[in-house]
Structure 1
Amino acid sequence: MTTTARPDLDPELRALLADMPLIPQLTPDVLAQLRQLPSEPVDLLLGDREVDRREITAPAKDGTAIPLSVFSPSTNDPGTASPCVYWMHGGGMVMGDRFSQLDIPLEWLDAFGAVVVSVDYRLAPEATGTTLVEDCYQGLLWITEHAGELGIDPERIIVAGASAGGGLAAGVALLARDLAGPAITAQILICPMLDHRNTSVSSHQFADGPGVWTREMNEFGWCAVLGHLDAPWSVRDRRDPDGEEPDGEEAVSPYVSPALADDLSGLPTAYVDTGSAEVFRDEDTDYATRIWAAGGQAELHVWAGGFHGFDALCPQAPISVTARRTRTEWLARQLGGNSQHSRPA
């Protein structure tokens, strides 16, 4: 499939993107260089917030220690259980850490007095298959079991993530449903990475950008997760025209690639957020549509002219301000009221 026609970028985002250093391609060598870049300092992310921070670990299924950062408003009443946002970071499943895009859930700490827990799941290609999503699920189990000491209301846990983290949040919701695990109030899937097949119209429209995540980069990320990094394009080319895995290929778990899930019923209400000018547009809109078809509830926003991760990379752009405010207003409805906390503008 080839196409040259595609939705244009929002004019203000286009201007900001023009000044942004972009990665032309993703290779093992480029990935190694990107991983050497320092994370944004936590103190800078926290700013002037009155926050208590705890660094803890939860055991993975194989016993590996999974780092978790817990951020709790210092002003919370110690005797009152607070909602929890369980955050999964982006980075194509191959980079990033628990402090990546942390400014997004910290807005909900401000608005609702929510406890934010961010998980440092293992990354591909060192970790493959279901390891990444299982790390996230084990972290969810741990915070649920220790909800009392963390000041968390186990009946008000929201799983949320951006890009790869959005796909992992969707996988965690599927695992929690299928394993009769912790109750999840809602899932916030921000431009989620949901489908390893990489065959949608939007993935072809944005094969070479513009933006920060192209179809080729997406192929690299998925092949790293699936253990095919040595021959990413040959893996794709062996699929049939419908994007199905060829006979003899190892089955891909729907917990890794949630678009493969046959049944999307019984899931927590979902907020699905994407841009019209990005690779994941079609798989994200399809996921919301299939939740509705299964009798579930989802709110879908396709931001006209938005490229992948626009609201995280350009938070001051008018479209980004609107997108972030809309998510917070939706979350307020799920938590049963208006914002209880606020910070000066």
Structure 2
Amino acid sequence: MSELFIGLMSGTSMDGVDGVLADFSQGRMRVLQHCSAPLPAALQSELLALNTPADNELHRAALAGNGLARVYAEVVANLLRDGDTPKSAVRAIGAHGQTVRHRPQEFDGTGYTLQLNQPALLAELCGIDVVADFRSRDVAAGGQGAPLVPPFHQAFFGQDGCAMAVLNIGGISNITVLDHSADAPVQGFDCGPGNALMDGWCQTHIGQAFDDAGSWAAGGQVHAALLASLLNEPFFAKPPPKSTGRDLFNAAWLARCLSKVTGVSPQDVQATLTELTARSCAEALRKVAPHCKTLVVCGGGAFNTHLMQRLAHHLPGCAVESSEAQGLPPLQVEASAFAWLARQTCLRQTASLQKVTGALGARILGAIYPA
């Protein structure tokens, strides 16, 4: 059977789709091709709007799923073309979809998680098996359904005798602790906001999709009272397993915190939001792995120079580095994780960790849509 898999990821930042063509035939995964595509502005706006209740949601969500599948298919076509790879050589595509609601364990005790996607359409468009719906089985087993990436982090980044952690800073930040020196189980959980609040604030106030290298934040001042209000959110004190999303950390949440302070300039808000991400991630790591020596950062946040500097400031004695130093560029990590997750599904092997999600046990994740 082929050991070529494609992984696709459109994260909470909603800035586009990343895809990889990955080869698992030689033990450690190798990325053969990487491709990105932006989300069309109208689709991006609709996906963002669907994070909150509105009229005609079912109809709009179905069409948004179709639109996302077409962007996914474009990325797949580019990966195959650039890698000179026939579609028949690819075992499966792992397509996560776009999370628009994430409420595990709420309401009826089970709750739900919802990723907009149209894997059947993607299978039709690409002619390749598609694996999707990775979170819901873990939620059905009593878990958070997130984060999904710690088992992949363990498989790719884990090193015997090395106390390290992997921090993904997408729209939401999540951390994986690989403390092999203590023969401890892998730990992983969501830390809180990553880029989502910073990107939204940038878009609103300076018309840019993101704060390039964190330069706007670096020119501002952290507002102590606002930071205290933000950090007062109960999620930060909640012990893992835990997960979150735009259901909590959104513009309305930020507006409520801002209403408690006065006289904060937009640039100082940006500086404070950057500090919030740095502080919440650093404190999360210190709580569970105070002796961690290396923090590997991936996701779009790895390109935010000011944010990386603030992480290093809050983690003295811990080397903060981009995942590039470990052989996998930051924008390829999550897409690679979904290639790995698709492979686990095809092999009928578990891909969740009870310690991470709080489920009743490890589960085989994902549903297969045959080509």
TM-score by length of 1: 0.34
More helix by share: 2
> Taking CA–CA contacts closer than 8 Å with sequence separation of 6 or more, which of the two structures ends up with the larger relative contact order?
2
